[in-house]
Structure formats: structure tokens, C-alpha cells
Amino acid sequence: MAYYNSKIVNYSFEDTIVKVTEELKKEGFGILTEIDVKDTLKKKLDVDFRRYKILGACNPPFAYKALQTEENLGVLLPCNIVVQEKEDSTVQVSAINPMESMQAVQNESLGEVAAEVSTRLKKVLENL
């Protein structure tokens, strides 16, 4: 299994951000952070980079349950979603695969939460 799942979409970059946010909301996620990698790299390193945003998504009930199970799990939160414009001008959306990332934690009690979050994030991608 891969550490992420992804999909090429038929939306503009800006419309993809809006659509991803809407689909995440339907699955109980909100966006806590938004990192514009292109702007950050331009400001900090004066380099040009493609349009690339990292959306930090959180589903509070699942985050709470996971943090009760594993107190240091915050290092893996929030769930990152990447929206990037590829060289051929297509837009790709990628989401972390919690089933893979949670294996590193080695806490079997997280399996149920990871499976549910994974299912919801896959649904977000499917609905794009």
C-alpha cells in the first residue's frame, strides 16, 4: 500500500481547492491549515515552484479518539491533503493514507480510527 491516495481532477487549481474543502466538510473534516508551498519557496528561497498547496484537514471526533489512544499522535495530525498542478497542467489531489501512517505508531487500538479516516478520505477523492 502507498502512503497516499491520489486522483487527477478536471477542475482548475482554484476550483479544486474549493471542491476539496466542500467534500472534506461532507465527511466531517475542516481545514485547520493551508500552506502555499509555491509562495513560501518564492519568499524564503527566491525559487519558482509549481502551484502546490497543503491543506491540513481535521475531523475533531476522530482526532480526539486517536489522541486518547496515543498521546503523541499529534505529530501525525492533521491529515494532509495536497493539491498540486503538474507539469502537463493537470491538477492532482493526494491524501495521506492513515492505514499506512498509523502502522509506524504500532498501536493496534488505532486501527479502527485509521480505517474510518481512510475510508472517508478515499470518499473525498472519489467524489471529486
Task: Please state, in angstroms and rounded to a whole number, the distance separating the CA atoms of residues 5 and 121.
Answer: 9
Of 52, 33, 20, which is closest to residue 123 (Cα–Cα)? Answer: 20
* Whether the model pTM is above 0.85: yes
CA 94 to chain centre: 7
pLDDT tens for the chain, 128 residues long, are: 689 999 999 999 999 999 999 999 999 999 999 999 999 999 999 999 999 999 999 999 999 999 999 999 999 999 999 999 999 999 999 999 999 988 888 888 899 999 999 999 999 999 99
Task: Please state, in angstroms and rounded to a whole number, the distance separating the CA atoms of residues 1 and 100.
Answer: 7
Q: In this structure, what DSSP letter does residue 77 have?
A: -
Length of the chain measured in residues: 128
Give helix 60-69 / helix 111-126 axis angle, nearest 10°: 150
Of 40, 110, 122, which is closest to residue 77 (Cα–Cα)? Answer: 110
pLDDT digits (tens, 9 = 90+) for 96-112: 999 998 888 888 889 99
Domains of the chain (ranges, CATH numbers) = 4-126 (3.30.310.70)
